[in-house]
Structure 1
């Protein structure tokens, strides 16, 4: 079933909304990461939530999951071509959010 959106912002939020999706995408914008590397970059996220958010991002074709047939299994996540189009938006969000970060 195809989603019907009220406006382009509605469509964008439906894909990257949620507590951690934009943060995951931001971290993948500069690197291909393994599951545990993502987990370390977002300490507040639970394993269940991270797995769910990664599944949804993959389902929406924003990230690519690559599984290597080794023991133990190695899985890497990276932005898809569609996901890479979000980098300017994520960079703008990062720049805007800097004003709320504590001064060091």
Structure 2
């Protein structure tokens, strides 16, 4: 058993309290960082999904034609796609899902 020192009384409790506080601080910052990263990941995934769907629709329009305004539903999410033409070539393409919008504008030569 360890010796008790009369002049070091209460230090073990204080050290434990400091260690507990430091541990809580580190865990809190870790969860905050993970929440931020997961939110950022979801936003990036949504942006990539918009671009992918717009790419697919542009390719389909180039090969098969069709209407200039389309709606597409993927994973219970509706996407509105709009094309603007100049001499039968797409000049402006836009996709929106209600929250986000992505546009591509082509300069005429």
Whether TM-score is above 0.5 comes out as no
TM-score normalised by the chain length of structure 2: 0.25
Kindly indicate which of the two structures has a greater share of residues assigned to strand: 2
Specify the structure having the higher radius of gyration (Cα).
Answer: 2
TM-score normalised by the chain length of structure 1: 0.26
